[in-house]
């Protein structure tokens, strides 16, 4: 495994570390026994999820460009269903109101690193430029807006609930556009002037599949979490 592939794993570990940091931060005021129990469950859930992604990828089952896309059926759709059920069922929970919007907003800038890895993957011949910022994927630009929103709201102290709310809605739309670019490049290449898909199956191999299986769903999850948090507790912190 070369450094290029290791960079995907490293970024994935950073995402896992953020989830743990966010989770344990929310648990800091709980009783020690509750904190230990819920903290251990969070760690185990993350480990199980990462092992699932690795083992399914290594099995070769999802490494296919045939329609319907197996990687979406196994990884993306279940993650969206889980996020919807989890956030809806917890929408009135006290922990939702305590989530740090500042931390989540700043962390969304990790998408700059994701898109930088995409450019590296384009250069390595693993991804087609169509799905990077050289083509129709503008998620890197949105990643920079996370830094801008953080600067305006928390550094310059210009609290603006509507700005943060609309920014999160825009983030979901941007991610939806990225998914469309990937899917259309795979299955509707004619709209981009290609006779057949210019994508290679290698982008579905581990660790590159971590973006679709974990990092992208995480970004969507954090946007929806932020939207619920703003509506339940308008205090921006």
pLDDT in tens, 168-182: 999 999 999 999 999
In this prediction, residue 66 has a pLDDT band, given cuts at 50, 70 and 90, of: confident
Closest CA to 56 of 42, 84, 76, 80: 76
Section 90-119 average pLDDT: 95
pLDDT band at residue 127, thresholds of 50, 70 and 90?
A: very high
CA–CA gap between residue 105 and residue 149 (Å, rounded): 8
Q: Residue 231: which of 158, 164, 170 has the closest Cα?
A: 164
The 3-state DSSP class for residue 34 equals helix
| Two structure tokens written together for 134 | 């050289």
Mean pLDDT in the chain? 93
By the 8 A CB rule, do 4 and 120 touch? yes
pTM across the whole model: 0.95
C-alpha 197/C-alpha 179 separation (Å) is 15
Please give the pLDDT value at position 34: 75
Alpha helices in 28-138 (DSSP H): 32-59, 70-71, 77-89, 94-98, 101-107, 110-123
| Local confidence band at 31 (pLDDT 50, 70, 90 cut-offs) | confident
- pLDDT bracket for residue 106 (50, 70, 90): very high
CA 106 to chain centroid, in Å, comes to: 13
**Residue 148: predicted pLDDT:** 97
Question: What pLDDT shows up at residue 159?
Answer: 83
Q: Report the pLDDT averaged over residues 69-89.
A: 94
């Amino acid at each position: 495994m070369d450094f290029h592939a290791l960079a995907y794993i490293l970024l994935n570990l950073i995402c896992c570390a953020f989830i743990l940091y966010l989770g344990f931060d929310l648990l800091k005021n709980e009783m020690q026994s509750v904190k230990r129990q819920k903290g251990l469950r969070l760690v185990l859930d993350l480990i199980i999820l990462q092992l699932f992604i690795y083992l399914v990828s290594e099995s070769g089952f999802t490494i296919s460009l045939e329609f319907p896309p197996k990687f979406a059926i196994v990884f993306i759709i279940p993650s969206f269903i889980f996020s919807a059920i989890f956030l809806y069922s917890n929408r009135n929970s006290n922990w939702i109101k305590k989530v740090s919007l500042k931390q989540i907003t700043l962390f969304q800038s990790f998408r700059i690193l994701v898109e930088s890895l995409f450019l590296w993957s384009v250069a390595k011949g693993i991804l087609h430029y169509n799905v990077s910022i050289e083509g129709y994927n503008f998620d890197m630009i949105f990643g920079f807006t996370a830094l801008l929103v953080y600067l305006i709201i928390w550094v310059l102290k210009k609290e603006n609930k509507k700005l943060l709310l609309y920014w999160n809605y825009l983030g979901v739309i941007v991610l939806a556009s990225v998914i469309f670019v990937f899917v259309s490049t795979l299955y509707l290449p004619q709209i981009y002037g290609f006779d057949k898909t210019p994508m290679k199956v290698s982008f579905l191999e581990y660790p590159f599949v971590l973006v679709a299986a974990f990092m992208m769903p995480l970004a969507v999850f954090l946007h929806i979490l932020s939207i619920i948090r703003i509506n339940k507790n308008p205090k921006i912190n």
